[in-house]
Amino acid sequence: MHFDQRRTGRADGLAGARALSRAGALTLAGVLTLTACTAHHHAAAQPSASAPVSSVDTAAIELAAVAKLALGAAYTGSYLADSSDTPPHTNAIKVFRTRLRTRLDITENGGRVLIQVDPTGTYTCNLPTTGLASCLTLAGANEDVASNLDPGGQRLFTTTLTVLAAGSGLKVAAAAPRPAVNGIAIARCFALIAAPAGAAPGTYCFTATGILARAQFRSNVLQLTALGGTPVDSDFTFPVAPLPLSSAVASSGPASSAPASGGPASPAAPPSAASSS
């Protein structure tokens, strides 16, 4: 992905809004196909045709149980996202997660991209190596991000967990565990064969406390390489106040085809009162 480093702290109309929000999408989509439509994804491991149905049911129940723990997990994790696409590439992703807030800090050659989900909405920021930082509100509280603006990568730590924890419509088989490494506990792995929208088939590995240790898809893998403690409020501070999506849409003129439900009324950063517990 390439940022336009000449961009200022304000999005340049709807095109700027899309470019900024796609920063995270292109970074993660090119490195790790996490949460796109599940129809064209395949699990990294599947049970044999002779596997008893009861074993699949048991695995689905166990995956739902650990996903419920994951929803409440609070930690700081350093991940590597590797893609075997052409050309192969790797990105470093630092994840700050609490029960209420999730932030992805993605490092690449052109700078950093932030994606944040918290009780006030969904946001993305561009921090180029040179030039000014810019942030954009993608959706307000309890609003869906428009599909043409959705970075997507944040879902693995948010909505995907919700789908898995619900346990409905899951077809799952046990997979080989991920060994303990670098102070990270052993993780149980599950091959998700089929699931409702919001959870892509693949192999998901969680520690006993619900920390995502590995996620593997068709040609991409996300690996936890280092684990830290509970994030603090300052970990969720924006470099600049996020612009409301409506301001970017308005500046693009009345012909814009942007969704009407673009963003919240206020561009202010989430208040510090939003608990990280």
pLDDT digits (tens, 9 = 90+) for 32-51: 444 433 333 333 444 444 44
224/11 Cα distance (integer angstroms): 33
Q: For the full predicted model, state whether its pTM sits above 0.85.
A: no
Who's near 11: CB < 8 A, 6+ residues apart?
Answer: 17, 19, 20, 134, 136, 243, 247, 248, 251
Could you say which residues of the chain have pLDDT below 50? 1-14, 23-51, 53, 252-276
pLDDT digits (tens, 9 = 90+) for 201-258: 999 999 999 999 999 998 899 999 999 999 999 999 999 999 998 765 555 444 333 3
254/35 Cα distance (integer angstroms): 32
Task: Give me the residue spans of the domains in the chain.
Answer: 13-249
> Could you tell me which of 112, 111, 115, 109 has the C-alpha nearest to residue 95?
115
Q: CATH classification of 13-249, choosing from 1.20.1630.10, 2.40.50.140, 2.50.20.10, 2.60.40.350?
A: 2.50.20.10
Mean pLDDT, all residues of the chain: 78
Three-class DSSP category at 177: strand
Distance in Å from the first CA to the final CA of the chain: 34
